[in-house]
Amino acid sequence: MRDAGHADAAAIAEIYNHHVLNTIVTFEEVPVASDEMRGRVEELREQNLPWLVAERGGEVVGYAYGGKWHRRAAYRHSCEVTVYVGAEHVRTGVGVALYGELLPRLKSLGMRTALGGIALPNEGSVALHERFGFAKAAHYSQVGFKLGRWIDVGYWQLML
């Protein structure tokens, strides 16, 4: 487990783009280039927010980050958390390890509330969030359309 760096952008993009093209867990539909991903990592680093990568055998197998919930000043103590794991490493403890590092770091940075948006159904992501004490706070019906179907989104919330 370590902070993401510029050199990780290609590996992060590869993990993410699998989900872009093959799953409903992200609502992006066009693969993200490494340079764009590098910019996303850098944007959070400039805001002093963590973007972590998990490695196994020197290979990046997952990542997690905490970004601003909204830009308005009153939201400054709330963050949206995200975790992605490489397809061949799902349900191997990578997501648990990432959140185990990410959530305490966010709290130490003064975050009070963590929110996780989950495209539904997604039993694995729901279980991961609830393992860390997140509780369902909202449910939006049919707000996304991807891979030929309408998708609900739920938000899980954790008071840090």
pLDDT 10s digits, 56-90 = 999 999 999 999 999 899 999 999 999 999 988 98
CA distances from 40 to 8, 13, 50, 115, 138 (A): 12, 10, 12, 19, 26
pLDDT in tens, 107-144: 999 999 999 999 999 999 999 999 999 999 999 999 99
Whether pTM exceeds 0.85: yes
- Spell out the domain ranges in the chain: 2-159
Q: Please list the alpha-helical segments (H only) found in the chain.
A: 9-22, 34-46, 94-108, 123-131
Q: Are 57 and 89 in contact (CB under 8 A)?
A: no
For the domain spanning 2-159, the CATH number is 3.40.630.30
H or E, element range at 83: strand 78-85
